[in-house]
């Protein structure tokens, strides 16, 4: 068992014993018999539904407010900054609300990264991703039901590769953007860090939301910013146009690669998982 000791100006403030929790089993049959498991799946569905409903409405509202046919003010609406705040703010709110129930994934890429790090079981990861995709479809369906004319006219909030960018650029933007998000998730929810700093679990939704906000600022001009396969899939299903489907693979492959890299980096580089596995090094206080 390793000991974390906080030292400042040569003075020892205290030591805390810490041991990494055991990795989640690949398959846990007992988990499937618990209500808490299905409650968590429902929480992921509702959270993703609300996420898509608010954010897609924001995107469509911005486009309608800046369309010369509907508004003479070309500088009106929330702007790109407002769209980024809508996505980041909703993730902050929803992670805060659901973290104690499902972990607040709200994103198949996050779920995939946590699965690779053995934080969740395979059945949980699978059902979370299904629930997230269904929630995204229903959220976009509500937007279309309420604003059908605007929904079709302004692209339904669907992610597409912008003109002038290659597929490789779009894929790279999705990989890097998702890496930033999932890396932040791992860092903000690191149990070793939580054991040392009791305030970290309370603040975890804030950096995660800010990561989504910052990535949107950078990549909206390129891909509209996916970094969440459920968000891109739900919008494409309801919008249903060829361009959204032609580019759909970018919004699955990119985020999954980014999440895998983030999981590897955090677990095997920052947390020295590879070194521990080889048994060649032991950290001592």
Identify the DSSP state of 227.
-
Name every residue whose Cβ is closer than 8 Å to that of residue 222 and which is 6 or more positions away in sequence: 161, 162, 165, 169, 170, 173
Task: Tell me which CATH code domain 32-66+77-278 carries.
Answer: 1.20.1080.10
Predicted TM-score of the model (pTM):
0.85
Rounded Cα gap, residues 190 and 266, in angstroms: 9
Q: Encode pLDDT of 77-123 as tens digits.
A: 678 899 999 999 999 999 999 999 999 999 999 999 999 999 999 99
Rounded Cα gap, residues 35 and 123, in angstroms: 14
Q: Encode pLDDT of 178-225 as tens digits.
A: 999 999 999 988 877 666 665 555 688 999 999 999 999 999 999 999
Domain extents in the chain: 32-66+77-278
Q: Encode pLDDT of 249-261 as tens digits.
A: 999 999 999 999 9
For residue 85, what are its two tokens? 């705040």
For residue 280, what are its two tokens? 């060649």
Q: How far, in Å, are 257, 258, 279 from residue 254 at the CA level?
A: 5, 6, 33
Q: Name the band, by pLDDT with cuts 50, 70 and 90, for residue 73.
A: low
């Amino acid at each position: 068992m390793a000991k974390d000791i906080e030292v400042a100006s040569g003075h020892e403030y205290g030591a805390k014993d810490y041991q990494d929790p055991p990795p989640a089993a690949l398959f846990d049959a007992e988990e499937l018999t618990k209500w808490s498991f299905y409650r968590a799946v429902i929480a992921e569905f509702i959270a993703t539904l609300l996420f898509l409903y608010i954010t897609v409405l924001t995107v469509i509202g911005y486009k309608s407010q800046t369309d010369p046919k509907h508004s003479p003010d070309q500088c009106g609406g929330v702007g790109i900054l407002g769209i980024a705040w809508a996505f980041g703010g909703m993730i902050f709110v929803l992670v805060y609300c659901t973290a104690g129930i499902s972990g607040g994934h709200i994103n198949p890429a996050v779920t995939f990264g946590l699965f690779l790090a053995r934080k969740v079981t395979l059945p949980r990861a699978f059902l979370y991703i299904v629930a997230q995709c269904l929630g995204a479809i229903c959220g976009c369906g509500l937007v279309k039901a309420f604003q059908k004319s605007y929904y079709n006219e302004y692209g339904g909030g669907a992610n597409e590769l912008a003109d002038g960018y290659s597929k490789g650029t779009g894929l790279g933007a999705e990989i890097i953007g998702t890496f930033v998000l999932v890396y932040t998730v791992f860092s903000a929810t690191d149990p070793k860090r939580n054991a040392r700093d009791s305030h970290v679990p309370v603040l975890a939704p804030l950096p995660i939301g800010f990561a989504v906000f910052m990535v949107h600022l950078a990549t909206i001009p390129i891909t509209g910013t996916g970094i969440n396969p459920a968000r891109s899939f739900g919008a494409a299903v309801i919008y249903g146009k060829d361009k959204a489907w032609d580019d759909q693979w970018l919004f699955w492959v990119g985020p999954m690669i980014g999440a895998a890299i983030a999981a590897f980096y955090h677990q095997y580089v920052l947390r020295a998982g590879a070194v521990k596995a080889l048994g060649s090094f032991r950290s001592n206080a």
